[in-house]
Amino acid sequence: MPDHAHLRRATAWMRRSADVDATRSSAALDDTSGHALLGLEGADDDFGPGSTALEPGRLYRRVSGTDDHARPVSDEELAGLGDPMAVEFFRVGTFPTTVQELLSNLPATAAASRKVYLVSEAGQIPPGAIGERDMRFAITAAVGGSQVDLLISAQAGGDPKQGFLQVAAWDPGEKVFNFYARFESSWVWAGNSWHALEPDSRGKGCFDSHVNGSVVMKELRIPWINWQSERATIRLAEDDPLRHDPLFQQVTGAQRLELTVRSLITRWTAARLTAITANGVVNHPDRLLRHLFTSTTINLASTDRQSSNITADSPDLTLPTGFWLNQDVLFDDLRLSTQAAPPRAPATRYLAGLSRFGFHLEEKHSGFSQPGDTFFAFVVPEAAHEDNEVVRQAVRTGLISAKFAACVLMVDFPNPVCSPARSHLMQYVPTMPTKTVKLCDKVAKAILDAVRAKDLPADSPEGRFAACWQEPDDAWRTVFGQRVDAYLRAVTQQIQTASGFDDYVRLAEFRRRQFRLMKLNEFELTLPVTNISSSAPPLAMREDATVAELS
């Protein structure tokens, strides 16, 4: 098990370990020493051949997967960075070393717009029951206008000079986010939104969490799991010094952060789609359509019920709709005609499942263990807003048709995340430049040609798509909606039975297992632990609402 300080990834990427001499005035980022603030895979002690240790008060460039080593940013490169960090700090030779110093040097207009948020996966665990609670501030501000263009992630509590400090800043000229991290008294530029999409740097460094080049809030939907919000208050000891931190005293509810994150994802997605279709040709159709055919990342959702308050006499639980299907796209964007109500599970089934499957929270490195579910009950992965927003805007702008998007999703709609069937169809998506007006028809033709040429069965992914594609243009919303209604009614029946509910618990755990393989899985306490073996076979939901092993 790695040192606890090495577990921090994603929005804070990785922070330095406590065993590094904090008095050094200059150093290199080194995975083995714990300096992997930027996820610098394979970097040696001096950032690679020909580089030198970081000097105080300088901006360096190090894009993981693209740059072999860190090097100082040139004057020309700095002039090309137009985000608030570059404009307000780096261009004038200012390199803040703490979050307080950074905030105090912003314009007064930025201070007026500032919002502070607090998150911790251990936030609802009694303070005396666990040691390190990994509390982080997320701070937003509008520096260059009325819209948020600066997002800061910083350690809450402890020595601010030793805690991590990372920034995503919007460049209005280039229409990208630039990603920065402070190291000692220097800063490193880790790339921009476009680097997240390039094969060499995709999934590396900060882009292992900012997967598509945008900002990240995994727990985006009410009740904003792990965040201080209108639904939950993070618990602090009476004598916790954090209570006296000015930033803590400004903390507001994450329900406001959700709106900001959604708008920022929309902003980058719009800029991206405008850029890639400017000449009427999509150069990399596969990079665009993977948001429809695959899960490039995920969000986490839960019920809005506190697990500890659920008793045998409690009302039925409405499990997250995103567990059953991608409701945001199918219902809100594609407007399928549906009537079925969300499935509800008897509280007694949920409680029996907690006992039968040994639900508990566990942090192995600290030895912490607590019986029961997470604070909010039944946390599961759901389709990511980042993926959905690309699909949404692609449909609205006519880049892909609503029917095409619906046909792809209906291939395996009961499995809204990480569907092998939908992913299988990516082989028919062109990788070469394709005219936008021909994109949908080209993919559909390739799939239909494969069905005929290979005599593929009706239940193959290709066969399912072909059947959907052949529905009349004036009927597909109704036909697909009827299928969804029948499925949700079947779920409602299955979830009332002990065997049916248990199957859904197993399916949920399998999907959590998929999340645990992602680098977004930063903390052990994000998800509950069960007695279901990690080697249990992969599972999938079927359209008849039964759960089956994947072959």
CA gap 463, 548 in Å, rounded = 20
Looking at residue 35, its pLDDT comes to 28
Whole-angstrom distance, CA of residue 149 vs CA of residue 89 = 15
Long-range contacts of 88-94 (CB under 8 A, 24+ apart): 88/143, 90/59, 90/187, 93/57
Residues with Cβ within 8 Å of 511's Cβ and at least 6 positions away in sequence, in order, are 323, 380, 381, 417, 418
229 pLDDT exceeds 70?
Answer: yes
Model pLDDT, residue 23: 29
Q: In this model, does residue 31 exceed pLDDT 70?
A: no
What is residue 489's predicted lDDT score, i.e. its pLDDT?
Answer: 97
pLDDT at 40 over 70: no
Q: Which has the higher per-residue pLDDT, 471 or 43?
A: 471
Q: Which residues contact 416 (CB under 8 A, 6 or more apart)?
A: 322, 323, 324, 325, 326, 382, 383
240: confidence class by pLDDT, cuts 50, 70, 90: very high
Ordered alpha helix ranges (H), 158-297: 254-276, 285-293
Does the pLDDT at position 312 exceed 50? yes
pLDDT digits (tens, 9 = 90+) for 470-482: 999 999 999 999 9
Q: Is the pLDDT of residue 551 over 90?
A: no
Q: Give the burial string for 394-403 (b: 16+ CB within 10 Å, else e).
A: bbeeebbbbb
Q: What is the mean pLDDT of the chain?
A: 90
Residue-wise pLDDT for 166-217, tens only, equals 999 999 999 999 999 999 899 999 999 999 999 999 999 999 999 999 999 9
H-type helices in 317-425, by residue range?
Answer: 321-324, 327, 347-356, 385-396, 402-410, 420-424
Checking if the pLDDT of 321 tops 50, the result is: yes
pLDDT band per the 50, 70, 90 thresholds, residue 25: very low
Residue 75's pLDDT band (cuts 50, 70, 90): very high
What's the alpha-carbon Rg for the chain, to the nearest Å?
A: 24
Percent above pLDDT 70 for the chain: 91
Alpha helix (H) residue ranges in 72-215? 75-79, 84-88, 99-104, 108-113
Spatial distance between the Cα atoms of 269 and 9, rounded to a whole number of angstroms: 24
* Per-residue model confidence (pLDDT) at position 2: 32
Q: Residue 9 has what pLDDT?
A: 37
Angle, CA of 294, 526 and 3, to the nearest 5°: 105
Give the per-residue pLDDT at 128. 85
Q: Tens digits of per-residue pLDDT, 331-374?
A: 999 999 899 889 999 999 999 999 999 999 999 988 999 999 99
Please give the model's pTM, rounded to 2 decimal places: 0.91
Compute the average pLDDT of residues 11-30: 32
**What pLDDT is recorded for position 124?**
94
What confidence score (pLDDT) does residue 133 get? 87
Alpha helices in 308-365, H assignment, sequence order: 321-324, 327, 347-356
Confirm if 169 and 84 have CB atoms less than 8 A apart.
yes
Tens digits of residue pLDDT in 76-129: 999 999 999 999 999 999 999 999 999 999 999 899 999 999 999 999 999 889
270 in Cβ contact with 393 (< 8 Å): yes
Query: Given the structure tokens 């082989």, which residue do they identify?
Result: 427
Phi, psi values for residue 99, rounded to 5°: -65, -35
Distance of alpha carbon 209 from alpha carbon 297, whole angstroms? 8
- pLDDT value at residue 52: 52
Could you report the per-residue pLDDT of 486-510, keeping only the tens digit for each? 999 999 999 999 999 999 999 999 9
